[in-house]
Amino acid sequence: MKYSKATNYALHTMLFLVAAPPDKPVGVQQLAEQQRVSPTYLSKILTKLVKAGMIESASGANGGYRLKRNSKEISFLDIIHAIEGTASLFDCSLDHGPECPIQQVVLLAEEKMEEHLRNQTMAELAQKMKMSL
């Protein structure tokens, strides 16, 4: 299983925004430079995070992006779903439905993974990073 590069950039962007001063929006150029990615590409990712209600954008000369929700309320899973969507990672190709024993095993594993990602918040990760510095 593999998440897209967009999810990688989204997670790093969110961590950067968690660490940024809440009263000063961070510009897309600064966010893009931090990750060595095109501002145009990152803008598409930021749009998805705005639509998901995690961040907000401020326009103008001092515009940019900042958190809209408390970082304690933003989980890894929230960010992954904003970028990747919520579809299951596995779908039985033989269309057996929920009684397919293979699908049952994979879906249980997916549920456990999602639970772990749901329990990891951006605030907790930012705290761990501060402690390691």
Q: Treating both helix axes as pointing N-terminal to C-terminal, what angle do 5-19 and 28-35 enclose, rounded to 10 degrees? A: 120
Element (H, E) at 66: strand 64-67
pLDDT-based confidence at 102, cuts 50/70/90?
Answer: confident
pTM score of the predicted model:
0.88
Domain boundaries, the chain: 5-132
Residue 74 burial class via C-beta count within 10 angstroms: exposed 0-12, middle 13-18, buried 19 and up: buried
Q: Which CATH number fits domain 5-132: 2.40.50.100, 3.40.50.300, 1.10.10.10, 1.20.1730.10?
A: 1.10.10.10
pLDDT per residue as tens digits for the range 11-51 = 999 999 999 998 899 999 999 999 999 999 999 999 999 99
